[in-house]
Amino acid sequence: MNETIQHNKFVELTYKVTDRKSGYVLSTVKFPLGEHRSVSM
């Protein structure tokens, strides 16, 4: 899923490691980064 990060949206980094030769997925990681909020300075 490709979406633009917007204010007050939950953000998660997802990636997978695939063996080029066999095509098998060796590892899949979903890492929650939390809710994106704007910071006023």
Give the model confidence (pLDDT) of 1-41 as tens digits. 677 777 777 888 889 999 999 999 999 999 888 766 655 55
pLDDT, position 28? 92
d(CA 1, CA 27): 18
pLDDT, position 1? 61
**pTM summary value:** 0.48
pLDDT, position 12? 84
pLDDT, position 37? 63
